[in-house]
Chain A
Amino acid sequence: MKKRRIKRYIKHTILHVLLIAGAVIMIFPFVWGFSTSFKEMREVLSHPYNLIPRRFTLVNYQNVFGSIPIARFFLNSVIVSFSVTLSQLVTCSLSAYAFARLRFPFRNGLFYILLATMMIPQQVIMVPVYIILNFFRLIDTYAAMILPFVSSAFGTFLLRQFFMTVPKELEEAAFLDGCGHLGFLVRILLPLSRPILATLAIFTFMWSWNNYLWPLIVTNRIEIRTLQYGLAMFKEEGGINWGQLMAGTTIATVPILAMFLVAQKQFIEGITLTGLKE
């Protein structure tokens, strides 16, 4: 019995060593970038491997706010990501409700077409979508970054799967109480679906916040660039000031990481539920 316990102890120690080594590789780039953002330029060049800055400074953050309109980029990212997320919650709830609970001609056909569109990568259609937005004179506006993502097949699919699990009796009871379909959806079904709505919101927000390809293609004016695109441009102008770049990177990363730490459960569940979206 004692031998077994020792064996288990050794096994767990080996496991922890392996897992910690892996975790260091995963986290270290963040830590190092983060520490660099608090170093003076001189120290960045002379002692790049110090993990703790010898002289702690906020000058990089001051510079980032001074030399590039990072506050504006941040605001733009917030505007775009919130608009996309909120509108998807509304449009996807409605369409998911129709596909899960209403009977109408061609329902299955329409649903399969919707599913099929999930297989089309954004990169394949970026040229025609640009042309369509250009046709409506929307290039270089917020609308160009928001409109194509106001609804999604992924969101519809995710919510429909959940809506289908809610028992029919609940609906009948609500109708007896004089609720219509919209009333039932808003007052009963959506409150019941809070976890899955949270999952959809988090995924959509994260995707939108991190999106680089789209703002890159459809915007030119500096004032409406999002954080990701703004940062990438900032690097191209002139030589690289690593301290400043890491400060900007930190500002762009922290909101999403904070959101993840708060809503871990929804993230993990969202992935395992669907395993669908990158």
Chain B
Amino acid sequence: MRDAKRAILFILPTYLIITTFIILPIFFAFFISFNKWNLLAPMKFIGFSNYSKLFRSDEFWKALVNTLYYTFITVPLCVFFSLLLAMLLNTKIKGIAFYRVAYFMPVMTSFVASAFIWQWIFQSQNGILNFIIGLIGLKPLSWLNEPKGIFTVLFESFGLHIPQWLSGPSVTLFAISIISIWRNVGYYMIIFLAGLQNIPRSYYEAAEMDGAGPVRRFFSITLPILSPTTFFVLIMAVIVSFQVFEQVAVTTQGGPLNSSLVLVYFVYQKAFKFLEVGYASSAAYILFVIVLFLTYLQVKVLGKRVHY
């Protein structure tokens, strides 16, 4: 019993903070999302109006589609490059410490700083990226100020025109995705590296004796044993990409023409620029449900597959 009293004292600070700033707010947000409120006038209950307004809003759909585009660009590329780098590093090669530091450096950098550096690279005049693509004969792009779809621009450079629905994510959103990939690859690489180092060398040696080539070894040993790690990284990367905010806030503020508007920036804009707090909360809750579903999937599948 004395233990119980002491335990309560010990967990009190943590629980106080978590309750006030996470548990209460998540219920509070749900409640606000059914009200019309601008923080000044009294709240007014309006049922599902915020949600129906959301689903009728072109801007919201744009934000949702852009977030999905961003996810479809960043996640596969992030997973591919981080796994590739981890596999290259998992050989007995010299200088691993140096490479690990190099690849991890962007992860340490703040979103604001990395967005600034990349804005400098992406500049339409004097930007080094345009200089580089100029060397291979491509026309300069205004990377962070181009609402046209990436496929449209790509085909235009060969003089071809494609229908609007095939235009793909805007060049701007694509450029923002590049910043995120650059920043996050090192993080997932470390997780993959840990997963790879857990695979016993003897498996590979045995397979090599049986005459399995490197490709066969990758698909028959590495990939199956690594699948829980891969799945973890995959879901993690999707969740993180649904929360993208800083890169957009610092570089484009959702523009041009909403072509880089993403979910969290939509919520931020509605809540803190237009003070439509109820409306913003309904959008935030949709984001929450998506993330919750993904987390559920992660727990469910990982729970089953973690013992291979």
Binds B, one of A52-60, A165-173, A260-268: A260-268
- Interchain nearest-CB distance for A174 vs B (Å): 15
Tier of interface size on chain A: 35 or more
In the complex, what residues of A have CB within 8 A of residue B204's CB?
Answer: none
Contacts of A121 in B (CB 8 A): 239, 243, 287-288, 291
Q: B23, B111, B187, B285: which contacts A271 (Cβ < 8 A)? A: B187
Instruction: Report whether A127 and B13 are in contact in the complex, using a CB–CB cutoff of 8 Å.
Output: no
Do B111 and A246 have beta carbons less than 8 Å apart?
Answer: no
Known contacts A127-B280, A128-B24, A210-B111; A27/B102 CB under 8 A: yes
Q: Which of B23, B98, B239, B250 contacts A212 (CB under 8 A)?
A: B250
**Of the residues A26, A210, A252, A275, contact of B102 by C-beta under 8 Å:** A26
Query: Hey, which chain B residues are within 8 Å of A242, CB to CB?
Result: 120
Q: Are A153 and B18 within 8 A (Cβ)?
A: yes
| Interface size classification for chain B | 35 or more
Given contacts A26-B106, A48-B126, A114-B18, A124 and B194 within 8 Å (CB-CB):
no
Whether A45 contacts B13 by the Cβ 8 Å rule is: no
Of B69-77, B88-96, B154-162, B205-213, the one contacting chain A is B88-96
Chain B, residues 6-17, CB within 8 Å of chain A (1/0): the string is 111011011111
Residue of B nearest to A242 (CB): B120
Which of B25-33, B44-52, B55-63, B145-153 is the contact stretch?
B25-33
Q: A256, B109: Cβ atoms under 8 Å?
A: yes
Given contacts A252-B110, A264-B101, A267-B104, whether A127 and B281 have CB atoms under 8 Å apart is yes
Cα(A63)–Cα(B115), bound, Å: 21
Q: For B91, list chain A residues within 8 Å (CB).
A: 12, 15
CA distance A19 to B280 in the complex (A): 44
- Contact (Cβ within 8 A) B121 A18: no
Q: Are A91 and B191 in contact (CB under 8 A)?
A: no
Q: Report B271-303 CB contacts with A as 1/0, cut-off 8 Å.
A: 110000100110011011001100100000000
CB distance from B217 to the nearest CB of A (A): 14
B18 touches A272 (CB 8 A): no
Tell me the minimal C-beta distance from A38 to chain B in angstroms.
Answer: 14
- Known interface pairs A18-B88, A119-B295, A272-B190; A124-B103 also in contact (CB < 8 Å): no
A-B contact list, 13 entries, CB within 8 Å: A30-B105, A36-B120, A98-B6, A103-B7, A128-B24, A150-B13, A151-B16, A153-B14, A228-B110, A232-B112, A246-B120, A249-B112, A257-B109
